[in-house]
Amino acid sequence: MTSEVTETSNQSLSALSNDERVCLREGSAVLRISESDATSKTKNEITETSDPSEETRMILNMGPSHPSTHGVLRLILELEGETVERSKPVIGYLHTGMEKTAETLSYTQGSTNVTRMDYASPLFTELAFSLAVEKLLEIEVPVRATWIRMLMCELNRISSHLLFQATNGMDLGAVSMMIYGWREREEVLRFFEKVTGLRMNHNYIRPGGVAVDLHDGWQDDLRNLLEIIPPRLDEYDDLLTGQPLFQKRLQGVGSLNTSEAIALSATGPILRSTGYDWDLRKDEPYLAYDQVDFDVIVGTHGDSFDRFAIRLNEVRESLRIVEQILDLMPSGDYRIQDKKITPPPRARIDESMEALIHHFKIFTEGFHVPPGEVYAAVESPRGELGCYLVSDGSPNPYRMHIRGPSFVNLQTLPHLMRGGLIADAVAVISSIDPIMGEVDR
Amino acid sequence: MNVPTVETFGQKVLHPKVEELIDLATELKQEGFNMVVDLTAVDYLSFPTRADLPENVNPERFEIVISMINHQTRERLRLRVQIQEEDPVVPSLFDLYPGTESMEREVFDMFGISFSDHPDPTRILMPEDWVGHPLRKDFSVGQIPVQFKASKAKR
């Protein structure tokens, strides 16, 4: 009896046009119940409602501490047998009020704060924040700083996507992939450590430029990286892409079409996997992306396999960009020489009183930013990462908001999981690649 | 629709009234603004003389900021809607842009601005039983009190 009801409701669902389906208030894939409600229902296991379609449905709680939830994502799943009917991602377990904290930190300290949001690709949040501050200050950073930023961001995209390959493999049971992914990511992080001094949370891209210039011999380190990674990517292809078992786990699992993705404000690989060509690096070029040659990778089916393949090939495109940057890197300053914004060189402090005063002012009070509000967006590995900044003329932002791509992309999760098996839910979560630090901020 | 428009830092900003929001969004959606990229709010409690506000717009305590994008023309647009302090209610954009669901929940959670006709008007980041709205300017940052206890060693 129950199955009949589900069938008819499915039929009426398929009759709806695609973005109407995500618009549904009742009967959509999103389970809109409160957390306490879910907890009480979990205790009874099988819900006792008068609605016959819900008679045999079970509410299952998954997470927040679960190895496949990439941190502290909690899911409330409504199951019919082993099939996921509706679901609700419950977030906030990693909420530390970073937007509130930002209001008490100066612009100089701000990048230290934002870098901790998306901890798998910290340079992108720093970049979005710095671009927003620079727009308010109406300053142009030196060309070399722009290119260094681009180089570091592309390397960060590589390390972030390699991390995805590792965790995705682990979630699907290809555990050896986890070791390989971490291994290659470590190579990139080693380069980061040489440049920024830190493996993660770099605080490298700052308003006015970057923290330090590239070290001597950075070209050799990069060439070494460009030699190591491509053959390993081909290994991944052998290990994963061509494997029938791996394909069976991903192909056709968690499908989305373009109009649904756009209606749900999804960006990044999720939107591109539906065959929609949208990449801010191409469509709204920032930094110097209009001067390098690369392709935007799009999928066809919008399933988990496409999202996996897009990320794998984006690593190749990023390597292509890095190779071009190696030849095109201009010389010059790595940060703007404006004593009101960037600190003077260390040696000057010993000789010049003014330099000492500027240094002291920047690191105690910070610099003043003219009043205004601005939005700056960059293409992070997960999609559009935006920073909305309001300044009241003081050295602290009046309001700083980060539009986290993971936070918004997480809305597609119930729609991707609907009708799939609970075992596939793990594959779907992994293919969204949410970073909880950025979801909860 | 005739709405006060400002250009700041090369970005186009519209200032509709809260009653005009749904009509304007409907119009913009037909014009090709197919995605709401971001929806957030600002509490202007301690900065009432805010920047870039056109003269004929009456400043209120809260402001909803909606960023939209037109993928065809690659145009961006920002809507800044003034919301009064007493009984802050905004019509939800869910029916036009379902992607605003969690962003509106975040604004409700952080600022206490309710969205009428929202399908799931609950907190999203803070615990369900939390009192107050953290990103309001009159919500203190809070600190964990550090207790320095004298050692009980006998002398």
Domains in chain A, start-ordered, CATH in brackets? Answer: 98-337+368-393 (1.10.645.10)
- CA of A426 to nearest chain B CA: how many angstroms apart? 22
Q: What is the pLDDT of residue A53?
A: 55
Condensed to tens digits (0 to 9), the pLDDT of residues B111-139 reads 999 998 888 888 889 888 888 898 988 88
Q: Are A34 and B52 within 8 A, CB to CB? A: no
Considering only the beta carbons, identify the residue of B43, B120, B123 that sits closest to A32: B120
Q: Which of B95, B128, B134 is opposite residue A34, by nearest beta carbon?
A: B128
pLDDT the model gives residue A320? 92
Region class of A67: left (phi > 0), else alpha (psi between -120 and 50), else beta: alpha
Higher pLDDT, A59 or A296: A296
Please list, in sequence order, all residues whose beta carbon lies within 8 angstroms of the beta carbon of residue A215, skipping any fewer than 6 positions away.
A194, A195
Model confidence at A24: pLDDT above 80 = no
Pairwise CB contact (< 8 Å): B134 & A97: yes
Amino acid at site A197? G
Window 84-113 of A: residues touching B by CB (8 A cutoff) are 91-92, 95, 97, 99-101, 104
φ/ψ of residue A187, rounded to 5: -60, -45
Q: Rounded to a whole number, what is the distance in Å from the CA of B111 to chain A's nearest CA? A: 12
Per-residue pLDDT of B29-72, as tens digits, reads: 888 898 999 999 999 988 888 877 888 888 888 999 999 999 88
Coil/strand/helix, residue A218: helix
pLDDT band at A43 (very low <50, low <70, confident <90, very high): low
- The SS3 call for residue A409 is helix
Which of the residue ranges A30-34, A259-263, B143-147 would you say has the lowest mean pLDDT?
Answer: B143-147
Most A-contacting residue of B14, B34, B40 (CB-CB within 10 A), to test interface? B40
Contact A408 B102 (CB under 8 A): yes
- Determine the pLDDT at residue A34: 76
For A324-379, how does the pLDDT look when each residue is reduced to its tens digit (9 = 90+)?
999 999 988 888 888 888 888 888 888 889 889 988 888 888 889 999 999 999 99
Please report the pLDDT score of residue A390 as a whole number.
92
Helix (H, G, I), strand (E, B) or coil at A219: helix
Least CA distance to A280: which residue of chain B?
Answer: B74
Closest CB to B8: pick one of A95, A373, A440: A373
d(CA B18, CA B63): 10
Residue of A43 and A177 predicted with greater confidence: A177
Contact by Cβ (8 Å): B103, B43: no
What is the assigned CATH class of domain B5-116? alpha beta
Per-residue confidence band for A155, with pLDDT thresholds at 50, 70 and 90:
very high
Mean pLDDT for the stretch of residues A224-245: 90
ipTM, two decimals, is 0.88
Mutation target among A271, A276, A396, A399 for the B interface, most CBs of B within 10 A: A399
- pLDDT, residue A6, reads 38
Q: What's the pTM value of the predicted model, to 2 decimals?
A: 0.89
- Residues 49-88, chain A: which have Cβ within 8 Å of B? none
Q: Which of B6, B7, B8, B9 to mutate to test the interface with A (most CBs of A within 10 A)?
A: B9
CA geometry: angle A164, A173, A191, nearest 5 deg: 30
Would you state the structure tokens that stand for residue A312, as one six-digit string? 């794998």
Residue A3 has pLDDT above 60, yes or no: no
Contact across the interface for B101 and A25, Cβ inside 8 Å? no
Residue B40 to residue A388, Cβ atoms within 8 A: yes
SS (H, E, C) A80-131: ECCEEEEEEEECCCCCCCHHHHHHHCCHHHHHHHHCCCCCCCHHHHHHHHHH
For the segment A199-214, the average pLDDT, to the nearest whole number, is 90
- Chain B residues inside the 8 Å CB shell of A282: none
Residues of chain A contacting B8 with CB distance shorter than 8 Å = 372-374
Instruction: State yes or no: pLDDT of A63 exceeds 80.
Output: no
Residues of B in contact with A384 (CB under 8 A): 37
Structure tokens, A184: 């290659």
- A13 shares contact with chain B (CB less than 8 Å): no
How far B152 CA lies from chain A's nearest CA (Å)? 35
CB-CB neighbors (< 8 A) of A411 in chain B: 99, 101-102
B18-26: Cβ within 8 A, 24+ apart:
B18/B81, B18/B82, B18/B83, B18/B90, B18/B91, B21/B79, B21/B81, B21/B90, B21/B91, B21/B93, B22/B91, B22/B93, B22/B96, B24/B79, B25/B66, B25/B79, B25/B93, B25/B96, B25/B97, B26/B96
Give the pLDDT score at A318: 93
Mean pLDDT, to the nearest integer, of A17-44?
68
Q: What is the pLDDT of residue A51?
A: 55
Note the pLDDT of residue A270: 92
Task: Name the pLDDT band for A391 (thresholds 50, 70, 90).
Answer: very high
pLDDT digits (tens, 9 = 90+) for A93-143: 889 889 998 998 999 889 899 999 988 999 999 999 999 999 999 999 999
Asked if the Cβ–Cβ distance from B71 to A284 is below 8 Å, we say: no
What pLDDT does B147 receive?
A: 67
Compute the count of residue pairs across chains A and B with CB atoms less than 8 Å apart.
Answer: 117
Range A49-58 contact pairs with CB under 8 angstroms and sequence separation of 24 or more: A52/A1, A52/A2, A52/A5, A53/A2, A53/A5, A53/A6, A53/A9, A55/A2, A56/A2, A56/A80, A56/A81, A57/A85
Using a CB–CB cutoff of 8 Å, tell me whether A375 touches chain B.
yes
- What per-residue confidence (pLDDT) applies to A81? 82
Residue range B63-97, pLDDT digits in tens: 999 999 998 888 899 999 999 888 899 999 888 88
pLDDT above 70 as % of chain B? 91
Percent residues over pLDDT 70 in chain A = 90
- CA separation (Å) from A31 to A270, A394, B32, B94, B149? 21, 44, 30, 16, 49
Confirm or reject contact between A22 and chain B (CB < 8 A).
yes
Q: What is the total residue count of chain B? A: 155
**Which chain B residues are Cβ-neighbours of A100 within 8 angstroms?**
134-135, 141
Mean pLDDT (chain A, rounded): 85
What pLDDT is stored for residue A18 in this prediction?
55
Token duo for residue A158: 């590589």
Does A8 have pLDDT greater than 50? no
